[in-house]
Amino acid sequence: MSGEQARYHLDKLKYRYLFLRWIEIALISSALALLAFAILGFLSTDFLLRIFLSALFAIGAITSMIFYYGLHRLNNNFFTSYLNQHFPQMNESADLLLIDENELSSLQQLQKKKTLERFDTIFPEIKLPHRVFRSLGVFTACVVLSMALSSLNFPGTKSLMQFPKEIRPDKSSGSVFIRSLSITVSPPRYTNLKSFESVDFNLVLPEGSLVQWLAQFSEQPSDVKILFSGKDSANFLFEKKSNYQLQKVITESGFYQLQWADKNKTYRSDFYKIEMVKDQSPKISIKNLDQFTRLKFTDKLTVELKSDLSDDYGLSDAQIIATVSKGSGEGVKFREEKLRFSSPQKISGNRLEARRDLDLKKFGLEPGDELYFYVEVFDNKVPVPNRSRTETFFIALQDTAREISSMDSGLGVDLMPEYFRSQRQIIIDTEKLLRGKKTISQFQFNSTSNELGYDQKVLRLRYGQFLGEEDEAGIGLAESPQSEEERDVTKQYGHQHDTKNEHNLVEQKNLKHDHATESKSDEEKEDPLKAFVHQHDNTEEATFFIQSLKSKLKAAITQMWEAELYLRLYQPEKSLPYQYKALNLLKEISSDSRIFVHRSGFDPPPLKEDKRLTADLSEIKTNTNLRKLDLEKEFPAIREALIVLEKMIVENASSVSSQSQKTFSKAGQELSSLAIEQPVVYLKGLSLLKSLSENQKKIDLNSLRGLQAILLKVLPQQTSSPVRHQFANHSLNQKFLQSLDQVKHE
φ, ψ for residue 123, nearest 5 deg:
-60, -45
Angle, helix 701-714 to helix 658-677, in steps of 10 degrees = 50
Please count the CA atoms within 13 angstroms of the CA of 45 that sit on its side-chain side.
16
Q: Which of 483-487, 514-518, 710-714 has the highest mean pLDDT?
A: 710-714
Q: Does residue 451 lie within any of the structural domains?
A: yes
pLDDT in tens, 322-373: 999 887 665 678 888 999 999 888 898 899 999 999 998 888 888 888 999 9
> Could you tell me if 70 and 192 lie in one domain?
no
Residue 317, SS3?
strand
Q: Does residue 383 lie within any of the structural domains?
A: yes
> Could you tell me if 174 and 323 lie in one domain?
no
Domain boundary, last residue among 233, 259, 277: 277
Q: Is the pLDDT of residue 43 over 80?
A: no
Looking at residue 567, its pLDDT comes to 92
CA dist 128 to 14, 67, 118, 536, 546, Å? 9, 18, 18, 110, 101
Residue 745, SS3?
helix
Q: Is the pLDDT of residue 647 over 70?
A: yes
What is the DSSP secondary-structure string of 209-268? Answer: -EEEEEEEESS--EEEEEEETTTEEEEPEE-STTEEEEEEE--S-EEEEEEEEETTEEEE
Looking at residue 162, its pLDDT comes to 42
Domain boundary, last residue among 592, 608, 628: 592
Confidence of residue 712 (pLDDT cuts 50, 70, 90): confident
Q: Does residue 631 lie within any of the structural domains?
A: no
Lowest average pLDDT, out of 333-347, 423-437, 704-718, goes to: 704-718
* Spacing of C-alpha 280 from chain mean position: 15
Contact 133, 158 (CB under 8 A): no
Looking at residue 165, its pLDDT comes to 39
Q: Is the peptide bond before 344 cis (omega within 30 degrees of 0)?
A: yes
Residue 359, SS3?
strand
> Could you tell me if 203 and 316 lie in one domain?
no
What span, in angstroms and rounded, lies between the C-alpha atoms of 37 and 27? 15
Confidence of residue 594 (pLDDT cuts 50, 70, 90): low
pLDDT in tens, 66-100: 888 888 777 777 777 777 767 777 766 676 676 76
What span, in angstroms and rounded, lies between the C-alpha atoms of 183 and 206? 15
Q: Does residue 377 lie within any of the structural domains?
A: yes
Looking at residue 186, its pLDDT comes to 93
pLDDT in tens, 529-544: 555 555 554 544 544 4
Nearest of 589, 594, 704, 694 to residue 646 by alpha carbon: 704
Lowest average pLDDT, out of 259-273, 503-517, 551-565, goes to: 503-517
Looking at residue 502, its pLDDT comes to 44
Contact 376, 325 (CB under 8 A): no
Contact 399, 368 (CB under 8 A): yes
Q: Is the pLDDT of residue 381 over 60?
A: yes
CA atoms 86, 88, 92, 95: torsion sign: negative
Q: Is the pLDDT of residue 164 over 50?
A: no
> Could you tell me if 454 and 581 lie in one domain?
yes
Lowest average pLDDT, out of 288-292, 390-394, 399-403, goes to: 399-403
707 burial type by CB count under 10 A (0-12 exposed, 13-18 middle, 19+ buried)? buried
Span 15-28, mean pLDDT? 85
> Could you tell me if 85 and 98 lie in one domain?
yes
Span 636-652, mean pLDDT? 86
Contact 150, 38 (CB under 8 A): yes
> Could you tell me if 272 and 293 lie in one domain?
no
> Could you tell me if 247 and 271 lie in one domain?
yes
> Could you tell me if 249 and 335 lie in one domain?
no
Q: Does residue 484 lie within any of the structural domains?
A: no
Confidence of residue 305 (pLDDT cuts 50, 70, 90): very high
What span, in angstroms and rounded, lies between the C-alpha atoms of 674 and 684? 12
Q: Does residue 733 lie within any of the structural domains?
A: no
> Which residues touch 262 (CB under 8 Å, ≥6 apart)?
175, 176, 219, 221, 222
Contact 274, 227 (CB under 8 A): no
Domain boundary, last residue among 152, 179, 197: 152
Q: Which domain holds residue 85?
A: 3-152
Find the CATH number of the domain harbouring 221: 2.60.40.10
Q: Does residue 742 lie within any of the structural domains?
A: no
Span 436-455, mean pLDDT? 90
Strand 203-206 versus strand 272-277 pairing type: parallel
Span 554-569, mean pLDDT? 91
Q: Between 474 and 575, name the one with better pLDDT.
A: 575
Q: Does residue 376 lie within any of the structural domains?
A: yes
Confidence of residue 408 (pLDDT cuts 50, 70, 90): very low
What span, in angstroms and rounded, lies between the C-alpha atoms of 86 and 76? 16
Q: Is the pLDDT of residue 723 over 80?
A: no
Confidence of residue 589 (pLDDT cuts 50, 70, 90): confident
> Could you tell me if 88 and 128 lie in one domain?
yes
> Could you tell me if 43 and 76 lie in one domain?
yes
Considering its fold, how many domains does the chain have in total?
5
pLDDT in tens, 113-138: 777 777 777 777 777 778 888 888 88
Looking at residue 592, its pLDDT comes to 67
What span, in angstroms and rounded, lies between the C-alpha atoms of 660 and 645? 9
Looking at residue 483, its pLDDT comes to 46
Looking at residue 374, its pLDDT comes to 93
> Which residues touch 32 (CB under 8 Å, ≥6 apart)?
57, 58, 61, 142
Looking at residue 172, its pLDDT comes to 40
> Could you tell me if 260 and 341 lie in one domain?
no
Span 236-262, mean pLDDT? 86
CA dist 6 to 22, 74, 114, Å? 25, 18, 12
- Give the Cα-Cα-Cα angle 510, 516, 521 (nearest 5 degrees): 115
Global model pTM greater than 0.95: no
> Could you tell me if 185 and 170 lie in one domain?
yes
**What type of residue is 353?**
E
Nearest of 663, 741, 655 to residue 699 by alpha carbon: 655
pLDDT in tens, 169-195: 444 445 788 888 889 999 999 998 999
What is the DSSP secondary-structure string of 257-316? Answer: EEEEEETTEEEE---EEEEEEPPPPPEEEE-SS-SEEEE-TTS--EEEEEEEEE-SS-EE
